[in-house]
């Protein structure tokens, strides 16, 4: 069983929709990362958070350390948001990654 | 400031051949990590350098994989001889600090296809 579980695995949304991607983890951590990978591209770090909520543009990330759960929200989704979103946690020096959520936003 | 750069972006080799992947971390980042994503699976840790020293290589799959970071700057990951199951995307990442809250910067990845 993977230390990090994401849901859903695949998500298709209409442009403008509000999107939520969930991440649950089973290890103790001090920080959780949300990463974005565009098709054929590298990985970009979106957020690093250890408590509460962070907002960057239309992206919002929340974390509940006690429940070992984090969510990534995208408001007013746009086709350029289409990518794989990956949750990663770092209990020590190593990172553990979720399998990713493949998001497709249709115009 | 240049980001993490990896070379080559894509390599196609035959089973039994050798491939060397290179990673140039962000200047000043002592910590360098190698990760691998095999098709359909999650990204997996391979190893971690602090400067030129291997801090943790517990994720290296077997002795066909050799990573080096001579001089503590760029790193190479050599696969010899390559097997079909080595196909995947190899990501390099760097960070300035080893603290658990240190931000990690990823490269574009090197896609390896073993035929």
> Do residues B14 and B114 touch, judged by C-beta distance below 8 A?
yes
Instruction: List residues of B whose CB lies inside 8 A of any A CB.
Output: 33, 35, 40-45, 48, 55-56, 58-59, 91, 93, 98, 100-101, 103-109
- Residue whose pair of structure tokens reads 């000043």 in the numeric block: B28
Instruction: List residues of A whose CB lies inside 8 A of any B CB.
Output: 2, 4, 29-31, 33, 35, 41-45, 48, 50, 86, 88, 90-100
Look at residues A22, A26, A21 and name the one whose alpha carbon lies nearest to residue A3.
Answer: A26
> Do residues A15 and A77 touch, judged by C-beta distance below 8 A?
yes
Whether residue A31 and residue B48 make contact (CB cut-off 8 A), yes or no, is no
Handedness of CA B20, B25, B31, B35 (dihedral sign): negative
Neighbouring-strand partners of residue B54: B49
Per-residue pLDDT of chain B (115 residues; tens, 9 = 90+): 678 999 999 999 999 999 999 999 999 999 999 999 988 788 999 999 999 999 989 899 999 999 999 888 999 999 999 999 999 999 999 988 766 666 788 998 999 999 9
> Do residues B60 and B7 touch, judged by C-beta distance below 8 A?
no
Q: What is the dihedral of CA A7, A75, A81, B35, to 10 degrees?
A: -50
- Residue whose pair of structure tokens reads 């209409």 in the numeric block: A14
Q: What is the pLDDT of residues A75-93, one digit of tens each?
A: 999 999 999 999 999 877 7
Report the chain B residue with the minimal C-alpha distance to residue A101. Answer: B42
Q: What is the pLDDT of residues B23-40, one digit of tens each?
A: 999 999 999 999 999 887
**Partners of residue A98 in chain B, C-beta under 8 Å:** 42
Look at residues A86, A33, A11, A105 and name the one whose alpha carbon lies nearest to residue B41.
Answer: A86
């Amino acid at each position: 069983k993977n230390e990090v579980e994401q849901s859903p695995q695949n998500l298709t949304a209409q442009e403008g929709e509000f999107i939520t991607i969930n991440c649950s983890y089973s290890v103790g951590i001090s920080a959780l990362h949300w990463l974005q990978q565009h098709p054929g591209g590298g990985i970009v770090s979106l957020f690093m958070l250890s408590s509460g909520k962070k907002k960057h543009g239309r992206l919002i990330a929340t974390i509940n350390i006690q429940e070992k759960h984090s969510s990534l929200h995208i408001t007013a989704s746009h086709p350029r948001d289409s990518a794989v979103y990956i949750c990663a946690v770092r209990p020590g020096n190593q990172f553990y990654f979720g399998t990713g959520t493949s998001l497709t936003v249709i115009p | 400031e240049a980001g993490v750069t990896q070379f080559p972006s894509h390599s196609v080799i035959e089973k039994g051949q050798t491939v060397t992947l290179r990673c140039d971390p962000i200047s000043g980042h002592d910590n360098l990590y190698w990760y691998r994503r095999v098709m359909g699976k999650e990204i997996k840790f391979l190893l971690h350098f602090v400067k030129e020293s291997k801090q943790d290589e517990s994720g290296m799959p077997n002795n066909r994989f050799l990573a080096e970071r001579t001089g503590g700057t760029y790193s190479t990951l050599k696969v010899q001889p390559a097997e079909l199951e080595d196909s995947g995307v190899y990501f390099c990442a760097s960070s300035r600090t080893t603290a658990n809250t240190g931000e990690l910067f990823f490269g574009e990845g090197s896609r390896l296809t073993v035929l």
